[in-house]
Amino acid sequence: MNIEQLRADTPGVEQLIHFNNAGAALMPDPVIDVMTRHLQLEARLGGYEAAGQRAFELENVYGSIGRLINARPDEIAVIENATRAWDMAFYSLPLGPGDVVLTSTTEYAGNYIPYLQLKKLRGIEIRIIPNDEQGQVSLPALQDMLGDDRVALVSLPVIATNGGPVQPIEEIGALARAAGVLFLLDACQGVGQMPIDVQKIGCHLLAATSRKYLRGPRGMGFLYIEKSLCERLEPAFLDLHSAALLSPDSYEIRADARRFENWECNVAAKLGLGAAVDYALTQGIEPMWQRIQHLASHLRHRLANLPGVAPQDSGSVKSGIVTFTHQGHGAAQVQQWLAGQDKRINVTTSTFRSTLLDMQQRGLQEVSRASVHAYNTEAEIDAMIHALERMPRR
Ligand SMILES: Cc1ncc(COP(=O)(O)O)c(C=O)c1O
């Protein structure tokens, strides 16, 4: 990879060391340019007229996302964030009393709360797939659990918001397919970071966001839904974009995945998402994944050698999200210290509220999270380690 070019494309790296790519990564110039140009066009022409001028580019966003995850453009819906994309999929599934949802200990609270809501409203049952000794979903346990014909859905994140393992999603997908069970994949922390191929994974539905490892703008995301399922699935919400009003008594839902979208959208951000996907594809997802894993393993190694610091990620494959605890300091203090004065190093804090099952199981209240991207460098990691070494003792 041409790291110098990657950094030259990323104005933010001149100002700070950004290890919060799992929160929101620094946008590269092509993304910033397409969005600012579009906002200027809106100011000069009017919002609808500007979108009309960019109709071709807006259509291409679906093709770009399709290339990123190996899907057809008509299997993609562009939705304002991963949460709403996921919700549109989950709440549209015909889950009823006694239907079982299988999820992982690493599930995101934003997804787990909807499971609890449908447990309350529709009587579904939630079961947690145990982990194997390395900390990822146990495939033999999953296979066993899939033997119960009340299981209607497997739903989990490929990478948790608080790091940990990269789940074996191709194996999980194969088991779900063999059992005839739907697989909803939360790829929010995966897209842009690692290869995500819906054909290889065999997931039926996938939700993702723009602003994290894809390096797109905030307030954008997308949903993938397999074509044959899309045609059968009535969205939980409809409007005049997802459906057409034919008469005072009838409507027709559109055939493609855009039946899960709604009319109004941030057009500049949608173009920004498209530019971010194109940028990632130009860099090459596989080389970026290799570099992210290399930097993350360098960072884990350096952290492990710091007195009082314990890296916290498990799993046979680990991602760019590096988590650790510090014996002498809380995660908020670590975050504040690294950001402070002339250091300007962005890390963040993951609390048990966003991944409660996993944190409870590991007896953790919170972890510090330093999430690296391909544009980060070993020198930046060394600067963070040096800053941690200088952290005053309490
Ligand atoms: C694993 C996971 N899933 C879903 C989400 C929600 O994404 P969004 O904020 O784009 O709705 C996040 C955000 O941190 C996440 O880490």
What is the residue with the minimal CA distance to atom 8 of ligand 1? 82
201 and 83 inside one domain = yes
52 and 65 inside one domain = yes
Of the candidates 250, 282, 314, which is a domain's last residue?
Answer: 282
Q: How many angstroms separate the CA atoms of 387 and 213, rounded? A: 25
Q: Is residue 394 part of a domain?
A: no
Pick the closest to residue 329 from 344, 345, 313, 307 (CA basis): 307
247 and 332 inside one domain = no
Q: Show the 3-state SS of the chain.
A: CCHHHHHHCCHHHHCCEECECCCCCCCCHHHHHHHHHHHHHHHHHCHHHHHHHCHHHHHHHHHHHHHHHCCCHHHEEEECCHHHHHHHHHCCCCCCCCCEEEEECCCCHHHHHHHHHHHHHHCCEEEEECECCCCCECHHHHHHHHCCCCEEEEEEECEECCEEEECCHHHHHHHHHHHCCEEEEECCCCCCCCCCCHHHHCCCEEEEECCCCCCCCCCCEEEEECHHHHHHCCCCCCCCCCEEEEECCEEEECCCHHHHCCCCCCHHHHHHHHHHHHHHHHHCHHHHHHHHHHHHHHHHHHHHCCCCEEECCCCCCECCEEEEEECCECHHHHHHHHHCCCCCEECEEEECCCCHHHHHHCCCCEEEEEECCCCCCHHHHHHHHHHHHCCCCC
| Tokens matching residue 153 | 């859905």
153 and 184 inside one domain = yes
pLDDT of residue 164: 87
pLDDT of residue 174: 98
Is 110 close to ligand 1, i.e. is its CB under 6 Å away? yes
Output the tens digit of pLDDT for each of the chain's 394 residues. 899 999 999 999 999 999 999 999 999 999 999 999 999 999 999 999 999 999 999 999 999 999 999 999 999 999 999 999 999 999 999 999 999 999 999 999 999 999 999 999 999 999 999 999 999 999 999 999 999 999 999 999 999 999 989 999 999 999 999 999 999 999 999 999 999 999 999 999 999 999 999 999 999 999 999 999 999 999 999 999 999 999 999 999 999 999 999 999 999 999 999 999 999 999 999 999 999 999 999 999 999 999 999 999 999 999 999 999 999 899 999 999 999 978 899 999 999 999 999 999 999 999 999 999 999 999 999 999 999 999 987 6
381 and 255 inside one domain = no
**Which of 21, 78, 83 to probe ligand 1 with, by most ligand atoms within 8 A of CB?**
83
Q: Read off the CATH number of the domain in which 43 is found.
A: 3.40.640.10
99 and 245 inside one domain = yes
Is 209 close to ligand 1, i.e. is its CB under 6 Å away? yes
pLDDT of residue 393: 76
pLDDT of residue 394: 67
Task: Using the mean position of ligand 1's atoms as its centre, give its distance from the Cα of residue 361 in Å.
Answer: 21
| Tokens matching residue 355 | 């991944």
Starting at the edge strand found earlier in the chain, the sheet holding 76-79 runs 76-79, 221-225, 205-209, 182-186, 151-157, 100-104, 125-129
pLDDT of residue 341: 74
Task: Using the mean position of ligand 1's atoms as its centre, give its distance from the Cα of residue 108 in Å.
Answer: 7
**Which of 113, 188, 323 to probe ligand 1 with, by most ligand atoms within 8 A of CB?**
188
Burial of 260 (0-12, 13-18, 19+ CB in 10 A): buried
Q: Read off the CATH number of the domain in which 375 is found.
A: 3.90.1150.10
**What domain range is 320 assigned to?**
3-23+285-389
Pick the closest to residue 92 from 203, 191, 224, 234 (CA basis): 234
Q: Is residue 53 part of a domain?
A: yes
Q: Is residue 352 part of a domain?
A: yes
Residues 172 and 137: beta-carbon distance below 8 Å: yes
Which numbered atom of ligand 1 lies nearest the CA of 186? 3
Q: How many angstroms separate the CA atoms of 185 and 108, rounded? A: 12
Task: Using the mean position of ligand 1's atoms as its centre, give its distance from the Cα of residue 270 in Å.
Answer: 18
Of the candidates 226, 255, 282, which is a domain's last residue?
Answer: 282
